[in-house]
Amino acid sequence: MTDIAPEGAAFAVAEDSTRRRLTMALAAPLGAVIFSVVAATLMLFIAGSDPFAAYADMFEHASKPETIVSMFNRATPLYISGVAAAIGFKMNLFNIGVEGQYRMAAIFAAYVGGAIALPGFLHIAVIIVVAMLVGAAWSGLAGLLYTHRGVNEVIGTIMLNGVALGLIAWLVRTWQAEGEIPVVGVGTEPIESSGILPNLTWFPELFTDLRGNNELTGVLLIAIVVGVFYHVLLNRTIFGFELQASGANPFAARAGGVPPRRMALTAMLLSGGIAGLVGIAEIMDKGRYNPNFVGGLGFNGIGIALLGRNHPAGIAVGALLWAFLEASSDILQITAAAPKEIIDIMRGVILLTVVIGYEVVHRIRRRDEAARAAARLVEVDA
Amino acid sequence: MALAIELKGITKRFPGVVANDDVNLAVEQGEIHAICGENGAGKSTLMKILYGMQAADEGTMSVNGTEVKFTSPADAIAAGIGMVHQHFMLAGNLSVLENVILGAEPTVGGGIIDRADAKRHLTEVGAAYGLEIDPDEFVEELEVGERQRVEIIKVLYRGAKILILDEPTAVLVPQEVDELFRNMRELKADGATILFIDHKLEEVLEIADTITVLRQGRTVASVKPADVSTGDLAELMVGSELPTPETTESTVTDDVALSITGLTVRDADDRAVVDDVSLRIRRGEVVGIAGVEGNGQTELVEAIIGTGRPETGSIELMGNDISQQSVRHRRSNGIGYIPQDRHEEGLLLESPLWANAALGHQMKPPYAQGIWFNRQGAQSTTEHIRERFDVRTPDIHVAALALSGGNQQKLIVGREMTAEPDVLIASHPTRGIDVGAQAAVWDHIRGARAEGMATLLISADLDELIGLSDTILVMYKGRLVAELDPASITPRDLGSYMTGAEV
């Protein structure tokens, strides 16, 4: 893995990544996690809980094979959501609307999926395509407002989140499966089994016997494809180059032939298209969209992209860490070794600390480079 | 009475340049004193020293007869000096009153602003100097001339008796200039001393009591307007001796590479900032544009590159009309571009050198292969640029930010030259870089010219213009007002055309 070094700015440095670069790159996220543990420990002491008992419960729970599988299941949509946010960040666009985009995408995809019957692969493909198109359409609205009306994309996407929630509340009733009373748990017409992506049950079974306790979601494969696509698009295509250039300096990019408006709109569409996939895992699991469809994945994705420095591998680590914390929150509720809210505190502390950490590392690295470049000047002149 | 301001032997050096070299200045009490000079003559540096924004390396400064040493603008303000910057420093969403008192708020104690007192004081200041303005109006609703008045009031409110105005007329339309001059005369009548920077010579002659001319960082003369003509002033500004062009053989061919006809660009206020410009550049030719900055050069360049939209006119590149093409097409069809501000338009400062080298050429080999970005190609080309153009850097993976200005510029010149453009638009290609790097850039432009590249050179550096150009066109208020031969150019002509004086 030569490419793990997450570079804050555009264009990750790959080829000359030395041990020093790697250390610098990992310093901030590791430091943030350690700091959050220290902070959590202190707070638990103050609150009168035994932090070490809580940590013991968390790790014991997380080391169980079925928990590991469930962590991957949780991490899968979080990862996709992180990548969706990261595409925007690379273009210097804050797509806060992943939340609304994936939920709109999910209800449309579930509705269409429930309304049609096609042979296996096609049925799944239609659901996925609908999800991506709806996600892209919803983010594209914010994109158009931004490029053609100058509406700041943060404002645009936040407002559209609100609009999405309202629309969905109405659509859920309108598209309520026939013959069912609208209650939590029921929703759109259930999707035929041909439209459900099979779980990867066989994979964990290679290592352990779960006895059917927990199944690995097939959407993990989609997440992997998304990660590879994101990496290749960004680092190997002209489009990716232009996207990053435009994000790094829109004026220089424009003088270099990169049209800023078209880039912004394309980045928004891509971001929303990927966001559309966030809800697929839940649809495949439940087979429909219902009123208590999972929320918050979009907002968490923003944090995870930040933590992973918009790097495909970094986002994966971030998503798994988030999944671990969520699983820990569950177990703390059961064992009551500590209030589960401590997990939210840890997440917040990690995010705040990592932002500061990245900035510090960034400055050290720049100073280091400037010093080396200056040394080079003296060397040549002498 | 003691002089309001007296500067003796002021010298200020920056790495590689002497911005002020033994500058002497004597400003009488209650006079309007103009400082004239070309871009880069050292006016701004001098004003910054006067206002405490920069410290002089050598020399002494006295205000009202007392020797002073300013370490910050606060010191200058305390000594009664106020500055009105060319770019206004006002908050549009605050009222005139709020802008004026910002940072000098009178309080009733406990951090609560005494608005009544502030308003009284503001009205007093306004009445005393004949500057009428509604204190409750929002600044964003004011005209440019009114905003300038707010800036002046802001300075007076802080008790300044000596005002520095940095190119106050640059942003104004003629009627507003008249209004400003009326205000300036009234200020003078009330005992204020005004020091102002300008390079429009008729204006200077109209308003100033004394004129000091700076050239290449030195004071060359201090004259009374009655004793000089605009022609004399122009000659003082550009110098009595112009550099002689390097006697290189002409490489100008008969093939027209870039042809512009009837180009007009209007700004947001519908003023023609480029006014019916026509020019031709042949293969192997360098056409230089001389002119004081802000006379439409930037807009002309934008129109050619495609980042600006001209109203009328055609632009032909190697015989093809490109005026409807995107920036991308123009660049890949053979227009190279060295922007005037390398940080703003030239570089991705936070990105590695190889990404910077690819910028603007990312759609073509060696940077591209079909839809794919070719990292290996980009990196080996960057290595090549680094060697051939002597870009001094530890490696090609450092951020552009890490390099010195000269090396950043060599990287930009290198990337444009390596793409072998048919036409190079070079906007101040050696601004702010050291002498060695400058010579290298010139050599590269000459070399490419010999191989048939057509160049449009925009520069404020007369050495550069005369040394490189085959033809010099003078741009004034958006129009090309003269075509001069660098071999037989006279300072008086050049200076007169550049400053809009009659010849």
Model confidence at A381, in pLDDT bands (50, 70, 90)? very low
Q: Closest CB to A9: pick one of B337, B351, B361.
A: B351
Q: Show the tokens assigned to B292.
A: 């004081």
**Residue B32: per-residue pLDDT:** 94
What phi and psi, each to the nearest 5 degrees, are found at residue B336? Answer: -95, 155
Q: Position of tokens 């450092």?
A: B398
Residue A8 has pLDDT above 60, yes or no: no
Mean pLDDT of B492-501: 80
Handedness of CA A230, A234, A240, A246 (dihedral sign): positive
Q: Which residues of B touch A238 (CB under 8 A)?
A: 362-363, 367-368, 371-373
Q: Cα A300 from chain centroid?
A: 7
- Give CA–CA dist A108/A171, Å, rounded: 9
Q: Which residues of A touch B360 (CB under 8 A)?
A: 255-257
The pairs formed by A220-227 with CB atoms below 8 angstroms and a separation of 24 or more are A220/A72, A220/A73, A220/A76, A222/A76, A222/A80, A222/A128, A222/A197, A222/A277, A222/A280, A223/A76, A223/A77, A223/A79, A223/A80, A226/A79, A226/A80, A226/A83, A226/A274, A226/A277, A227/A79, A227/A83, A227/A312, A227/A315, A227/A316
For residue A2, give how far its alpha carbon lies from the nearest alpha carbon of chain B (Å): 15
Residues in B closer than 8 angstroms to A16, CB to CB, are 395, 397
Whether pLDDT at B474 is above 90: yes
When pLDDT is averaged across residues B355-374 and rounded to a whole number, the result is 92
Looking at the complex, report in whole angstroms how far the Cα of residue A60 sits from the nearest Cα belonging to chain B: 43
Residue A7's pLDDT band (boundaries 50, 70, 90)? very low
Identify the DSSP state of A278.
T
**pLDDT above 50 (res A4):** no
Tell me, what amino acid is at B294?
G
Higher per-residue pLDDT: B46 or B244 = B46
CATH class of A19-381: mainly alpha
Instruction: With beta carbons less than 8 A apart as the criterion, state whether A24 and A39 touch.
Output: no
3-state SS class at A172 = helix
Length of chain B: 503
DSSP B105-153: --BSSTT-B-HHHHHHHHHHHHHHHT----TTSBGGGS-HHHHHHHHHH
**Tokens in use for A154?**
């943060």
For chain B, helix (H) and strand (E) counts, in that order, are 16, 22
Q: Is there a contact between A249 and B307 if contact means CB atoms under 8 Å apart?
A: no
In chain B, what residues touch A376 (CB-CB under 8 Å)? 392-394
DSSP A11-38: S---TT--HHHHHHHHHHHHHHHHHHHH
d(CA A111, CA A177): 9
SS3 A270: helix
Number of Cβ within 10 Å of residue B502's Cβ equals 9
A-B CB pairs within 8 A amount to: 128
Q: How near does any CA of chain A get to the CA of B328, in Å?
A: 4
Can you tell me the distance from the alpha carbon of A305 to that of A325, in angstroms, rounded to the nearest whole number? Answer: 16
Question: Which of B307, B403, B407 is the closest to A254 by Cβ?
Answer: B307
pLDDT at site B235: 84
| Contact yes or no for A241 and B352 at CB 8 A | no
Mind telling me how many Å the CA of B350 is from chain A's nearest CA?
6
Asked whether the beta carbons of A98 and A304 are under 8 A apart, the reply is no
Distance from CA of A144 to the nearest CA of B (A): 20
Q: Closest chain B residue to A240 measured between Cα atoms?
A: B373
More confident residue, B279 or B133: B279
Contact call for residues B308 and B337 (beta carbons, < 8 A): no
Q: Are residues A10 and B348, on separate chains, in Cβ contact within 8 Å? A: yes
d(CA B309, CA B252) in angstroms, rounded, equals 30
Q: What are the tens digits of pLDDT across the range A230-285? A: 999 999 999 999 999 999 999 999 999 999 899 999 999 999 999 999 999 999 98
| C-beta atoms of A369 and B359 within 8 A | no
Structure tokens of A279?
């809800």
CA of A340: how far to CAs of A52, A346, B383, in Å?
14, 10, 55
Facing residues of B279 across strands?
Answer: B260
Q: State the Cα–Cα distance between residues B49 and B45, nearest whole angstrom.
A: 6
Nearest CA in chain A to B362: A238
Q: Tell me whether residues B326 and A257 touch, CB distance under 8 A.
A: yes
Using alpha carbons only, what angle is made at residue B125 by residues B119 and B127, rounded to the nearest 5 degrees?
A: 100
Q: Which residues pair with B280 in a beta bridge?
A: B259
> Residue range B255-282: average pLDDT?
92
Q: Tell me how far CA of residue A284 lies from CA of A104, A123, A128, A256, B111, in angstroms.
A: 16, 12, 11, 44, 61
Q: What pLDDT, on a 0 to 100 scale, did the predictor assign at position B142?
A: 85
**Cα-based angle B193, B199, B200 (whole degrees, multiple of 5):** 100
As a 3-state breakdown, chain B gives helix, strand, coil percent values, each rounded to 5, of 35, 25, 40
CB–CB contact A370 B402 (8 Å): yes
Arithmetic mean of pLDDT over chain B: 88
The ipTM assigned to this model is 0.84
CB atoms A244 and B355 under 8 Å: yes
Give dist(CA B75, CA B160) in Å, integer: 12
Q: Report the candidate in B164, B195, B140 with the shortest Cα–Cα distance to residue B85.
A: B164
- Which spans in A91-218 are helix H? 98-115, 120-149, 153-174, 202-205
* Identity at B319, one-letter amino acid code: G
State percent of chain A over pLDDT 90: 49
Q: Which residues contact B131 (CB under 8 A, 6 or more apart)?
A: B125, B149, B152, B153, B156, B183, B186
Instruction: Tell if the CB–CB gap between B355 and A380 is shorter than 8 Å.
Output: no
Q: Which distant-in-sequence residues (6+ apart) come within 8 Å of B98 by Cβ?
A: B91
CB A147 within 8 A of CB A93: no
Tell me if B344 and A252 make a contact (CB, 8 A cut-off).
yes
CB B353 within 8 A of CB B384: no
Angstrom distance (rounded) from CA B180 to CA B172: 9
Is it the case that residue A15 has pLDDT exceeding 80? Answer: no
What is the DSSP secondary structure assignment for residue B422, as one 8-state letter? S
Nearest to B357 by CA among B333, B378, B326, B334: B378
Q: How far is CA B73 from CA A252, A303, B12, B183, in A?
A: 34, 43, 17, 24
Cα B69 from Cα B58, distance rounded (Å): 11
Task: Give the closest-approach CA distance of A225 to chain B in angstroms.
Answer: 19
Tell me which residue in A10, A372, A376 faces B355 most closely, judged by beta carbons. A10
Residues B466, B442: Cα–Cα separation, whole Å:
12
The dihedral formed by the CA atoms of A237, A243, A247 and A250, expressed in degrees to the nearest 10: 110
Pairing of strands B256-266, B312-317: antiparallel
Who wins on pLDDT, B143 or B119? B119
Selecting from B351, B371, B394 the residue whose C-beta is nearest the C-beta of A376 gives B394
Distance, in angstroms, between A80 CA and closest chain B CA?
A: 24
Answer yes or no: do B331 and A252 touch at CB < 8 A: no
Residues of chain B in contact with residue A258, where contact means CB-CB under 8 angstroms, are 328
For chain B, percent of residues with pLDDT exceeding 70? 97
Under 8 Å between Cβ of B343 and B433 = no
Binary contact (A369, B398; C-beta < 8 A): yes
Characterise B198 by phi-psi region: left (phi > 0), alpha (psi -120 to 50), beta (else): beta
Token pair of A329 as six digits: 């929150």
Is A238–B348 a contact, with Cβ atoms under 8 angstroms apart?
no
CB B349 to CB A239 under 8 A?
Answer: no
Strands (E) located in B133-217: 162-165, 193-197, 210-215
Bridging pattern class, strands B17-27 and B454-458? unpaired
Domains of chain B in sequence order: 5-238 (3.40.50.300), 244-330+454-503 (3.40.50.300)
Give Cβ neighbours of residue A192 (< 8 Å, ≥ 6 apart).
A114, A117, A123
Question: Rounded to a whole number, what is the distance in Å from the CA of A359 to chain B's nearest CA?
Answer: 13
Higher pLDDT among residues A87 and B177, named by residue = A87
Report CB contact under 8 Å: A244, B351.
yes
- Nearest Cα neighbor of B488 from B461, B470, B464 is B470
Q: Which of A248, A254, A374 sits opposite B348 (nearest CB)?
A: A248
**A193: which residues sit within 8 A by CB, 6+ positions away?**
none
| Contact between chains at A236 and B373 (C-beta distance less than 8 A) | yes
Global pTM reads 0.79
Cα distance between residue B299 and residue B293, in whole Å: 11
Query: Which amino acid is located at A261 in the chain?
Result: R
Q: With H, G, I as helix, E, B as strand and everything else as coil, classify residue A311.
A: coil
Confidence of residue A213 (pLDDT cuts 50, 70, 90): low
Domain range list for chain A: 19-381
Give the model confidence (pLDDT) of B208-229 as tens digits: 999 999 888 889 889 999 998 8
Higher-scoring residue by pLDDT: B281, B145: B281
pLDDT value at residue A228:
97
* Contact between residue B355 and residue A242 where contact means Cβ atoms under 8 Å apart: no
Q: Which string of DSSP letters, residue by residue, matches B264-318?
A: EEE-TT--EEEEEEEEEEETT-EEEEE--TTSSHHHHHHHHHTSS--SEEEEEET
Q: Kindly list the residues of chain A whose beta carbon comes within 8 Å of any beta carbon in chain B.
A: 8-11, 13, 15-16, 235-242, 244-245, 248-249, 251-259, 366, 369-370, 372-377, 380
Percent of chain B scoring above 90 in pLDDT: 46
What's the average model confidence in pLDDT over B235-252? 76
- The two tokens of residue A97 are 């609307």
Span B190-203, pLDDT tens digits: 889 999 888 778 88
State which residue of chain B sits closest to A367, comparing Cα positions: B402
A373–B398 C-beta distance less than 8 A: yes
For residue B363, give the nearest of A16, A257, A372 by CB distance. Answer: A257
CB atoms within 10 A of CB B378: 24
Contact indicator for A98, A84 with CB cutoff of 8 Å: yes
